């Protein structure tokens, strides 16, 4: 079976991963769906990582106290949602 083209909205890195996984494994439709979601999560986490690098992971609240930025919370939410932690809170943060 020919390798399906990766979704056009994916980044170059995610498209390369899509092609590599298809080259290494024979996937059913439900596997392709999960791979698409994983590629999209990869792109979102990289976007969040870049935004945190640019804007910082900590912001000052109105009282001058440090707190995690909304970008850091978004990144933690993405990681926690991936179940990579098997139910454990990876960063120990409340989101």
Of residues 4, 1, 36, the one with CA closest to residue 19: 4
What's the confidence (pLDDT) of residue 94? 42
**pLDDT tens-place string over residues 9-48:** 999 999 999 999 999 999 899 889 999 998 998 898 888 8
From residue 29, alpha-carbon distances to 42, 66, 68, 70, 95 in Å are 20, 46, 39, 35, 33
Asked if residue 53 has pLDDT above 50, the reply is: yes
Asked if residue 92 has pLDDT above 50, the reply is: no
Asked if residue 95 has pLDDT above 90, the reply is: no
Residue 95 · residue 67 · CB < 8 Å: no
What's the confidence (pLDDT) of residue 71? 65
Q: What is the mean pLDDT of residues 45-59?
A: 81
Q: What is the mean pLDDT of residues 66-83?
A: 67
Of residues 36, 42, 70, the one with CA closest to residue 56: 70
Express as a percent the part of the chain with pLDDT over 70: 72
Tokens standing for residue 79: 């990681």
pTM for this predicted structure:
0.64
């Amino acid at each position: 079976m020919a390798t399906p083209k990766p979704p056009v909205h994916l980044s170059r890195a995610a498209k390369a991963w899509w092609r590599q996984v298809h080259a290494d494994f024979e996937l059913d439709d439900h596997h392709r769906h999960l791979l698409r979601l994983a590629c999209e999560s990869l792109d979102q986490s990289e976007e969040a990582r870049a935004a945190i690098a640019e804007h910082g992971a900590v912001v000052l609240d109105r009282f001058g106290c440090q707190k995690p930025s909304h970008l850091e919370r978004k990144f933690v939410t993405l990681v926690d949602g991936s179940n990579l932690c098997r139910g454990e809170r990876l960063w120990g943060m409340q989101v």
